[in-house]
Amino acid sequence: MKRIAWVPLVVVLLASALVIGGQSAGQSQTKEFVVAAWGDPYEAGWRKSLVPAFEKKYGVKVVWVQGFSTQTLAKLRAQKDNPQIDVAMMDDGPHRQAVALGLVEKLDRSKLASAKELYDMAFEPNDMGISFGLAVYGLYYNTKAFADNKWAPPTSWTDLARPELKGKVTVHNIGNANGLYLLLALNKIAGGTDTNLDPGFARMKQLAPNVVTFDKFGETPTLIQQGQAVIGTWNIDRVANLAATGVPVQFVYPKEVAWGQKAVITVVKGRPTTDLAHKFVDMILSAEEQVNTAKFIFYGPVNRMAKLDPETAKSVVYGPEAMAQLTVANWEVINQKRPEWTERWNKEIEAR
């Protein structure tokens, strides 16, 4: 009797084990595709459209590795001999450094169906990466605070030094493109050159007493919402993201120079997923995802076929006329001199 009683139990246990084992095997077979890029609100925005669409179409799980562009570059350098990242998104400056360090795979345009729809500005030299979005770097200000105090809205980089704004200005650290672009703008206004930044540093020293923080860790939105900051350096996509939450902030194109920046996506060298990585690049470049990127991330589209609604169009760099307003920095000089400028900034500006 015992032997007869045990047979069904053994069958049940074996069947259960097979089911569980089958589920585990199925789950383990889902491939991971690793993307290194900025964190929220960027990751959250792409998880509304790009990520689920890619996962569904290609049967993969997208793993997002958050980081500023300089942090992503550092990860790529650290992993050079054993890369773990499939595609990386960075600002054009750090991206150019990645290219120089041999971390980037050359793109095959024949695998990018969307390439024929792109503005010329999207393409990187020798197809080492490609831009999928445009941003502009300038100023933000709190429209309510300015109206309440009857202050004139800002129009110039030099407005950051206005006496009534002392202790209410946020400036990003030079490690962030916003801080770098401020230094370059002040240097340009003061008569400096690409290689002589003495006039820019002099202007930064004059501005420093007005600054409540040199943002290194993303504290700008918190200071704005707390009312401690009413003006500062920022890029249009970040201003638009914050404004979308109901905060009364507005982006300003400074009259002297508005710095254009390309967000670049690159296929990481040395990974076995090159074909799949090209599919990811092609998807983010498609007209549909360009519209979604503009709507959810506030990057201006590089695909000519992307048609934006009027509200979104007001918040991004959109179309040839808007692109013509942008000045692109000389990254060959910047990347060579940036370590020297950073050391000087830390000693002369933030250490004061």
Across the 352 residues of the chain, what is the mean pLDDT of every consecutive 10-residue run?
A: 42 42 52 96 96 98 95 97 98 94 97 97 96 96 98 98 98 93 97 96 97 93 97 94 95 95 96 97 98 96 97 93 90 92 96 74
Residue 99 backbone dihedrals phi, psi, to 5 degrees:
-65, -45
Q: What is the pTM of this model?
A: 0.81
Domain 30-134+262-318 falls in which CATH fold?
Answer: D-Maltodextrin-Binding Protein; domain 2 (3.40.190)
Instruction: Give residue 28's pLDDT.
Output: 52
Cis bond leading into 52, ω under 30°? no
Residue 132 backbone dihedrals phi, psi, to 5 degrees:
-115, -5
The answer to whether the beta carbons of residues 75 and 59 sit under 8 Å apart is no
Instruction: Give residue 194's pLDDT.
Output: 92
As a whole number of angstroms, the distance between CA 280 and CA 162 comes to 46
The answer to whether the beta carbons of residues 265 and 279 sit under 8 Å apart is no
Reference 219, options 161, 146, 170; nearest CA is 170
As a whole number of angstroms, the distance between CA 228 and CA 208 comes to 16
Instruction: Give residue 188's pLDDT.
Output: 96
Instruction: Give residue 274's pLDDT.
Output: 97
As a whole number of angstroms, the distance between CA 258 and CA 182 comes to 10
In CATH, what number does 136-260+331-350 get?
3.40.190.10
Our separate counts of H helices and E strands in the chain read: 15, 11
The boundaries of every CATH 3.40.190.10 domain in the chain are 30-134+262-318, 136-260+331-350
